[in-house]
Amino acid sequence: MRRIASLVMLIIGLTILAVFAVFPIYWAIVCSLRPRAEIVGEAPLYPTSFRIENYYHVFVRWKYYEYVLNSFIVATGNSLLVLAITIPAAYALTRFRLRSSRHLLFWILTNRMAPPAAFLLPLYVLTSFLKLAGTYLGLILAYCVFNIPLSIWLLVAAIESIPKEVEEASMLDGLSPLGVLFRIVLPLARPGIVTAGLLTWLFAWNHYIFGMILAGPGTKLMTVALGDFALTTVGIEWEYVATMTVGTIIPVLIILLIVRRALVAGFAFGKI
């Protein structure tokens, strides 16, 4: 009887969490199909109109595809650069133990403890000095500040789950440490690598402050374009905010559907 009660409470709790997670997305979709007067009025929770003009305005007139491309270039470039840096770094921290390795890992993570706004001024000065302000490369490097520590911690956990005996046997067969990394460790740690790459990609895709300050007219990101609809002279254009929100979510859902199996395996791999 107690087990049944616990199961019922678990189902109720998960249902409440699911509602909290899904309802904002549902409400954004509903509002994206309504005129502004209906959104700010007392409208029901279910859709009563299907105003596709909102999507035409955002997708065609407001250069939606240009913003998607900019965000995709920055997020993908950042994710690839972060993995190129953190895979060998995590392998070295895991397999070539130093007396202060754990302290070093904690020090690496301290970047994540500071608010992103604390890095805005130095990053802006640095990118301006290097002539990288308003460029893809400047944005990619800026997001590395927060993504490198996260990726290192995830990859350290993944690599630590690989038995050392496998690597030692490979070295006895003549593989160098670099060969072991690329031919043994990378295939075995692939779920963890996919997870780290996806989480860093999502951070770069969703982040607003760096894009607002460091992006230029030709590199404006989706999140910045979304904010433009909320900062107009005529007030907040809720119908376009909702439409752009849906447009921002769609690419993320596509990516998640593509890598969902590797992502689930990555969360279980090495207790990530």
Predicted pLDDT of residue 266: 59
User: Angle at CA 231, nearest 5°, toward 209 and 34?
Assistant: 115
pTM of the model: 0.84
Q: State in words which class domain 57-271 has.
A: mainly alpha
Check residue 267 and give its pLDDT. Answer: 62
pLDDT given for residue 74 in this prediction: 95
Q: What is the reported pLDDT for 29?
A: 87
Structure confidence at residue 1 (pLDDT) = 66
Q: Go through 53-76 and write b for each residue having 16 or more CB atoms within 10 A of its CB, e for each that does not.
A: ebbebbeeebebeebbebbbebbb
The pLDDT value given to residue 100? 67
pLDDT in tens, 57-93: 888 777 788 888 999 999 999 999 999 999 998 888 8
Which residue ranges of the chain lie beneath pLDDT 50?
Answer: 270
Instruction: Give me the pLDDT at residue 84, please.
Output: 94
Cβ-based neighbours of 191, under 8 Å, separated by 6 or more: 158, 262, 265, 266, 268, 269
